[in-house]
Structure 1
Amino acid sequence: MGVARGAENRQVTIDRLTRAARVALGSGRPLDDRLIADICEQNGVHPTAFRRFFATDDDLLDAVNEQLVLDCVSRLRSAVDAFEATDATAAGASEVAAPDPLGVAARMLADSWPLDRGGLIIRSQRRLRALTSPDGGGDAAAAAERSFVERLVPVFEDLMRKLGRRFTWPPVLAVRVILDTYERSFESWLLMGHREEDFDGSPYAARTLPVLLRGTSEPAEPGPDAS
């Protein structure tokens, strides 16, 4: 009982430190001794004890990145679960032309905020450390990127099913291309001075993403019960 409670308390502390670091790093602060001291003070953890939770700075950054991934997957899963392709057609029934369901799906994906400014900054920091430091955890960073894609494949496959489509590309490759282009386009959108909350109206969300969804998939064949 005591061991289980201790493990639970340890995880609670790790989660609190990770979230505090995420806020600080997402604001653009560098991962240094001052940042670690600040998050320790906020959470009542002695800096020496901090290293029992995160042996290295990269361990902390990896934990923050993992939290970002889990939140992203959760948001996209909720958005896809709530999405109905039939709603897109019904919404345009009184118009001259019904909206393209793939276009509606693309906007839904952008509306779900798979990435925000803070998340982009943190992911960029992790890549920079991996690229510039001999012990920057390049293998861990690459593994985290693969894991991110793999966890999103079932989400995108469910979206395709709702659209009456299926991937013609290997799903992992299709999702990787979508995520990579999304992230690069979102970064460019911010660099041009646009607001992150307006990205669902960007050229990428309006034109490029629907093309990617269509180009990596095809209409699914009717099932045996279809009339």
Structure 2
Amino acid sequence: MSRGSEQRQVTLDRLTRAARVALGSGRTLDDRLIADICEQNGVDPKAFRRFFATDDELLDAVNEQLVHDCVSRLRSAVDAFDAIHLVESEDEGEVGEAADTTTPLEIAARMLADSWPLDRGGLIIRAQRRLRALTSQAGGGDAAAAAERSFVERLVPVFEDLMAKLDRRFTWSPTLAVRVVVDTYERSFESWLLMGNREEDFDASPYATRTLPVLLRGTSEPLPTA
């Protein structure tokens, strides 16, 4: 990559991250927001369209950055996950009083919520992208749907590795199983926030403690013993 291309990519990333912060706070994607992120990054607003030809391109770049960060956080959490060790630790009283009833699937569900795959800002951005696609007269729904499919597809190997660590395998199509987890997680997280709860407490929500373990169990089975 040439120096000019590298500099362009750096500017693209900075504009995208600035837009992500602004959109995640609830601001609307409009000329004022674009002018603000250009000012923050020393970009002439007239030159902005050389980086993003349309508003949808900017929103897609923001969503892609959001998805990349989400997948990276889940991947790191799964790579560090050790269900058997955690169960043994809880049995020794290191983690909780109800340790004797804690299962590896319940610990896995709590780990997934603890890894913060989605925060309030990310939820707002994803909702904005879907709303924009649904209401735009110029279309854009295909790009939004493709982005959703890509998100699930990139999470499938992460969840398959998690299942392997739990000595389980999917009985459902892995793509379908992950789609169900992603969709129910997002809707439940949204409801949790709408009820006035703190996003950092979602790992204690009914979804994380009860529903998600059931989903993980119901879409998989133990690996056959040798």
TM over 0.5: same fold?
Answer: yes
C-alpha separation in 2, matches of 1:89 and 1:116:
27
Q: Secondary structure at the match of 1:92?
A: helix
Q: Secondary structure at the match of 2:214?
A: helix
**8 Å contact 1:88–1:99 — kept in the other structure?**
no
The answer on 1:56 being equivalent to 2:59 is: no
- 1:32-71 matches, within 5 Å, as 32-71=30-69
C-alpha separation in 1, matches of 2:53 and 2:63:
16
One-letter amino acid of the structure 2 residue matched with residue 28 of structure 1: G
C-alpha separation in 2, matches of 1:24 and 1:136:
24
**8 Å contact 1:130–1:136 — kept in the other structure?**
yes
One-letter amino acid of the structure 2 residue matched with residue 21 of structure 1: A
Deviation at 1:99, TM superposition (A): 1.6
One-letter amino acid of the structure 1 residue matched with residue 152 of structure 2: V
One-letter amino acid of the structure 2 residue matched with residue 8 of structure 1: E
C-alpha separation in 1, matches of 2:83 and 2:52:
44
- 1:199-214 matches, within 5 Å, as 199-214=202-217
The match for 2:136 among 133, 138, 142 is 133
Deviation at 1:94, TM superposition (A): 3.6
Give the structure 2 partner of residue 197 of structure 1. 200
Structure 1 residue runs without a partner (length 5+): none
State the TM-score, normalizing by the size of structure 1: 0.95
Give the structure 1 partner of residue 126 of structure 2. 123
Aligned residues: 221
Deviation at 1:88, TM superposition (A): 2.7
- 1:148-227 matches, within 5 Å, as 148-222=151-225, 226=226
| Cα deviation code 1:22-75 (max 9, x no counterpart) | 000000000000000000000000111110000000000000000000000000
* RMSD of Structure 2 on Structure 1 (CA): 1.1
**8 Å contact 1:88–1:98 — kept in the other structure?**
no
Runs of 4 or more consecutive aligned structure 1 residues displaced over 6 Å after TM superposition: none
More deviation in 35-44 or 131-140?
131-140
The answer on 1:110 being equivalent to 2:113 is: yes
Deviation at 1:120, TM superposition (A): 0.3
C-alpha separation in 2, matches of 1:200 and 1:190:
13
Give the structure 2 partner of residue 92 of structure 1. 90
C-alpha separation in 2, matches of 1:187 and 1:25:
17
Give the structure 2 partner of residue 11 of structure 1. 9
C-alpha separation in 1, matches of 2:2 and 2:104:
49
Q: Secondary structure at the match of 2:102?
A: coil
Deviation at 1:92, TM superposition (A): 3.1
Q: Secondary structure at the match of 1:166?
A: strand
Deviation at 1:98, TM superposition (A): 5.0
One-letter amino acid of the structure 1 residue matched with residue 44 of structure 2: H
C-alpha separation in 1, matches of 2:91 and 2:31:
59
Q: Secondary structure at the match of 2:100?
A: coil
